[in-house]
Structure 1
């Protein structure tokens, strides 16, 4: 049942990211729920990405988020830099362009820094009174003085977080687990919203040969809910080492699985390698692309070890147990602090085997 590649399967050279409508999950019949769970299991086992329709997030919430991103990223660079976190260990605040290398989170060095700029907010210790959660894992957010930004971003986090929890209900059903299985692992989840912006300053008209909008990586946690412009750039890696373009379908949110869910399932489900090329038009000029990735990562102190039924009889799990906090710290030390992550040999081998044609 375990997989050794962790990469998506292309059929006749085409890698399809399936569209799954989940609107009947809460109000439909048992057959409806079974059909949705089966579709999710198939997508999770073969692609690691899916397009979710029927998520129930209002268009007004989507538009407000996009407007908030526009307002923030339009600020002067020096003003945005005042909102950087005091340490790369603190996954909050502003990240200027060319300051991260996502491939380091996989243990693969690269010469060129990634082009994207970003702004992060996430779960705070104060949101879980009485639990005495460590500020190091649940730091306070840094908010810009942009009218309406905090309200719009907070509303999006509420909706995206609700969708992530909804998806974990479906995941439990699809994996044959008890209803609510994941709740004790996610009731004070380390959730982060990373808002990304890809756009070179006007004076920069050329790119380094190996320049990435965002370097190749897998997502670190349980599940990611992604809103993105319908602008080319996002690519996912298949089992043969080829990269495939992915564009979100109208009305859909892209959802992909993270490393912790892959570890949980012994790679029955995939944490698929992906990257973002510098978005360009037909003439090769860099164009703007926006995205917002909501990472549902689990409780900092939750132990992740292989789920029941995911290891064949007589076999050993592919991954040793870890905690959410330890795993995220190793990954973030690579991407944000520039330290080569030496604890991802399987992911590093996948990236080194990828073709760049």
Structure 2
């Protein structure tokens, strides 16, 4: 495992231009795959340039996100899922603790509010997928909202799938290695908003905008405001700020790639501090994470080439559905996850701010 580096507290998250992947030379592709491998080994985050997503799609999506979070709280709460087990709809502020997805209790509930949409069973009529894993979406009656959000899902999902092809090349695997694990992927888009009403400005001690966690699936494509708040844990156990570069999308690896690669590639712990101005007042920050998580019934076991001779894999086999249920049971339902001991140990060992 390599080491991440920081300058003035801001972690160096490599900018990787993938524009030459589709039509470039073999040398171009090898260079891109090498950059991906280095970032995956040392940081677990990267900034993707040349992703091909038009500015118009991002602007329409941002406007849709703004329109939704500007709705009165009663209207947003009417769009909550029927139970915490259903990973769809609206999540009010102070109702989740992301650190419980690692089995680590938090001092207070996280501040963010969110709205989730994702892959539905109805999109795969020939597969008889379980509605518990592929529930129907809950849509607000906002003109243009669904169209803008679905377009962003299409664009971010296309990028995620392109990246898995690059990942396969970087790991010395056939180009379509991940296809059987992702042809009915449990993809979810979570739109996040950090801005409390004036009466809620005072914060509890140790309050998090979003608690420390790893992402659960294969790869996350993150759109975010260039506002401080996001921090990731380096390989020495210290937290560092991360800001997206203009024109880039942040991409980070999830638990399933760490399991596949036996921690050769990192599923990096990250958190969001309450975004505040110089006076300590909470300011607005928006982000949207597209989680490309894999098929609910896919079994994830360490790749043989990633397990040193004479050793056992660091992780037992699991299925995507089981792993996600354990993680979501912590963050959404408040049941501490007992099956993430390695990630929990990293968080407990993290050095103070």
Normalising by the residue count of structure 2, what TM-score does the alignment of the two structures yield? 0.98
Structure 1 runs (4+) deviating above 2 angstroms are 7-15
* Per-residue deviation, residues 210-252 of structure 1 (Å, max 9, x unmatched): 1000000000000000000000000000122210000000000
Distance 1:228 1:8 in 2: 25
Pair 1:91 & 2:87 matched: yes
- What runs of 5+ residues in structure 1 fail to find an aligned partner? none
Q: Does the 8 A contact of 1:8 with 1:48 survive in 2?
A: no
Pair 1:353 & 2:352 matched: no
Structure 2 residue aligned with 1:188, among 184, 191, 197? 184
Pair 1:77 & 2:93 matched: no
1:17 corresponds to = 13
Distance 1:312 1:153 in 2: 43
The 5-angstrom pairing of residues 285-300 of structure 1 reads: 285-300=281-296
Q: Secondary structure at the match of 2:211?
A: strand
The 5-angstrom pairing of residues 204-223 of structure 1 reads: 204-223=200-219
2:240 corresponds to = 244
Distance 1:232 1:157 in 2: 25
Distance 1:241 1:14 in 2: 14
Deviation of the 1:285 alpha carbon? 1.2
The 5-angstrom pairing of residues 194-273 of structure 1 reads: 194-273=190-269
The 5-angstrom pairing of residues 36-75 of structure 1 reads: 36-75=32-71
Q: Does the 8 A contact of 1:222 with 1:296 survive in 2?
A: yes
Q: Secondary structure at the match of 1:291?
A: strand
Count of residues in Structure 1 that have an aligned counterpart in Structure 2: 352
Q: Secondary structure at the match of 2:305?
A: coil
Q: Secondary structure at the match of 1:55?
A: coil
Structure 1 residue aligned with 2:126, among 122, 130, 142? 130
Cα RMSD, aligned residues only: 1.1
Q: Does the 8 A contact of 1:37 with 1:174 survive in 2?
A: yes
Deviation of the 1:128 alpha carbon? 1.0
The 5-angstrom pairing of residues 274-289 of structure 1 reads: 274-289=270-285
Q: Secondary structure at the match of 1:143?
A: coil
Q: Does the 8 A contact of 2:299 with 2:318 survive in 1?
A: yes
Pair 1:157 & 2:157 matched: no
The 5-angstrom pairing of residues 317-336 of structure 1 reads: 317-336=313-332
- What runs of 5+ residues in structure 2 fail to find an aligned partner? none
Normalising by the residue count of structure 1, what TM-score does the alignment of the two structures yield? 0.97
* Per-residue deviation, residues 83-135 of structure 1 (Å, max 9, x unmatched): 00001111000000000000000010012000000000000001112011010
Q: Does the 8 A contact of 2:121 with 2:135 survive in 1?
A: yes
Pair 1:172 & 2:173 matched: no
